Structure 1
């Protein structure tokens, strides 16, 4: 799968995507911007065929070539049922997979790779780039808080206890500038708890050790969101670049006619009152268990809050009997919703989310307070920042939905005085986000620095 037209290339950039979750899609969005800004640079994008087939439109620029790579699953392999299994198999096989694919791509175009732009998970790219006499630029798919947790993993392990029974999980990471309100228990699995010897935990640890060697590290955020952490990471990394929120950048180049809305969510929300609607969406990977879906439905119905609920069709059977009929005038349940556009609408009052980084940033970009139900990874960390650092939302008590707990959260955010404060704080962050992506904004200037790093050569 590759474009046949080739530009007259000044440099050749290999894009190594992590083909799970939203990682590859974000990296593609950045690649398209880079390709547009540097039309004489060739960008070779590497990911699995399954990932590529879901990502690529027919209107790719001529200087982006798409390459399918193996998924790392051995022939005849029998899965044990762990959701992390495909991910870990790919990570183990990735160094050899990418080496072969890059060599083939170099042969095809007759030009050596001058830059490796990779998902930060691929820590081994540091050595590969050195061998190839190329520069290494890494993309971190989360925020500054989770990046810091992985860069400072050894410091955190050496400073805090790792025994959950003695209460130290409630302690904070105040010894890291900018993480004074983050607790040990908020850190991602693999830092101080969970299976520290798993493939994924080992990958994150090695990544944290390798990233200071990268020529640049960039992420989908904006400096003003986490000023202290930004300054701290600038001292740890050669070039640390916030280039987002990408959702704001992409929306400026689209018209309303291009927004997909197959279920009429935007028409529906236009009829609702200002800051009254709850949007419920948990991304592409996480879904609350049946008992929690029941609690969400009962809370919405009891409080009569207007809602848009993005819920996979296979999970709609878990809703209370008659719920859809009884709430037909109150809200809509759809298998997919235009999340970014909904969160920008003035009628949106609260985003009920898993607190994945992209969702948090989209909520910030829309100035919408949050109710967070973390699942794994950086979710707890982001949820803690939403509640205690930025004060733009709340995290569910004990991290799970109960009817009573959800109702209290809805009341707090949508009705009570501290909810008004959350809305005010969220609006301030929205203004800073928009400023960051405006002309001469911090993220626009950082993108120029990223472009300079990526297309420069060592010749």
Structure 2
């Protein structure tokens, strides 16, 4: 196929679940705005694209659909990760077909592949196409290190008779010299169905990443130093381009994350400094009804000002009388401008699910966290936030109870330990803003990534 233009054409392939496509799109939007001479083709499923591209895109950024792998007439059984399994089974062939279609439509050969590393087979696709592969990792570096070291972990710990060993602390895993609880490793490494499509994907990803010249990561120098050292010294170079909430604060193609239609910021203006608990569990995280009630009872018992981002469909689980009492001290809304909320002087603690984006947004605002992991790598993120970064506490037993939540709130807001958490969060805040500044290391890494993309040629 002959190019109609000498300009580069970058194919960006996203893993179409949870926050993955949105995070990758934020990076691509910044690159596309900085390189109007480069064409970016963004690939995810039709459903994912519909939510991401609700506003006009940049002129050099176009959405293309990947197959979701669901056969016509297929009826979902409700099994966990069923949609992910179907998508991954389509895998290589789906991505190859989509890339070829974009080349034909745009009239330019693909010059490099930028992908979510979960799409591990894109390393092979890039090799077959004779182009560079750029994996972009948006979760924590610690989880990337764990997936790279999966075989080491399995060979050392074993994969049989692990029941009852969840609380065992081990210190041999690179990046965790202070130790890590086995039960806080991501599912699919030691616990869970190790033969599931998702677990196999993570294992293959860890083995495939050495094919990449570098991995762009949603982190900044000095945040996860041990994990960074392990990755840099063993299999690839890291390009720190985070935290994304500072380096890529708002996508150019979707609804503004700064919208405050429910008056959250005005309400915060009326509260005392560092007095408010902000509560949010991401777009995919859902608590069981009894935990919602326990958390609400703890807030009511403490008569604590709170701002709670909660869907209307979940509010029905709160008893009417409890909701009435809570409305006197707090505010419950279906949407908040999270970055602006966390940066507000009235917010004293962030109660959340330990999603990596949420952790970064909190520490870049200098706000300590109380966490309740829900799924995926959030158990590991919680360990890192509590025991490595020391900016958070995990709720007792990993679930919300009234008494356990009250103790966590008192620790963070009233006790000396909470002061240390706040100081650590402020320290990382300064590092993050420096890294994302005009001459910061994350800014320089973005320039390196941009230069690399512009220089790639089809072999």
Under TM normalisation by the shorter chain, which class is it? Answer: over 0.9
Question: 1:126 and 2:123 equivalent?
Answer: yes
Q: How much does 1:295 deviate? A: 0.2
Task: Please tell me the root mean square deviation across aligned C-alpha atoms, in Å.
Answer: 1.9
Q: Structure 1 residues 81 and 165, CA, compared in 2 at 3 Å: closer, same or farther?
A: closer
Q: Structure 1 residues 395 and 55, CA, compared in 2 at 3 Å: closer, same or farther?
A: same
CA deviation string 1:348-392 (max 9, x = no partner): 111111101111111111111111101121111111111111111
Question: 2: CA distance between counterparts of 1:258 and 1:292?
Answer: 28
CA deviation string 1:214-270 (max 9, x = no partner): 12211211121112221221123333112011111344999xx98201211111111
Q: Partner of 1:208 in structure 2?
A: 206
SS in 1 for 2:170: coil
Of residues 56, 62, 65 in structure 1, which corresponds to 2:62? 65
Of residues 93, 96, 103 in structure 1, which corresponds to 2:93? 96
Of residues 119, 142, 146 in structure 1, which corresponds to 2:139? 142
Question: 2: CA distance between counterparts of 1:310 and 1:83?
Answer: 26
Question: 2: CA distance between counterparts of 1:7 and 1:423?
Answer: 56
Q: Partner of 1:232 in structure 2?
A: 230
| TM-score (normalised: structure 2) | 0.94
- Unaligned segments of structure 2, at least 5 residues: none
Q: How much does 1:180 deviate? A: 2.8
| TM-score (normalised: structure 1) | 0.94
Task: Report the more deviating stretch, 158-167 or 194-203.
Answer: 158-167
Question: 1:41 and 2:38 equivalent?
Answer: yes
- Unaligned segments of structure 1, at least 5 residues: 1-5
Question: 2: CA distance between counterparts of 1:253 and 1:68?
Answer: 19
Q: Structure 1 residues 155 and 258, CA, compared in 2 at 3 Å: closer, same or farther?
A: closer
Question: 1: CA distance between counterparts of 2:444 and 2:198?
Answer: 33
Question: 1: CA distance between counterparts of 2:392 and 2:10?
Answer: 40
Q: Partner of 1:3 in structure 2?
A: none
Question: 2: CA distance between counterparts of 1:180 and 1:160?
Answer: 17
Question: 1: CA distance between counterparts of 2:136 and 2:408?
Answer: 34
Number of aligned residues: 452
Q: Partner of 2:442 in structure 1?
A: 443
Question: 1:312 and 2:275 equivalent?
Answer: no
Task: Report the more deviating stretch, 385-394 or 291-300.
Answer: 385-394
Of residues 232, 235, 241 in structure 1, which corresponds to 2:239? 241
Q: How much does 1:329 deviate? A: 2.7
Q: How much does 1:134 deviate? A: 0.7
Task: Report the more deviating stretch, 217-226 or 179-188.
Answer: 179-188
CA deviation string 1:134-169 (max 9, x = no partner): 100001121111101101100111112333336365
Q: Partner of 2:191 in structure 1?
A: 193
- Contact 2:250–2:257 (8 Å) recurs in 1: no
- Contact 1:173–1:184 (8 Å) recurs in 2: no
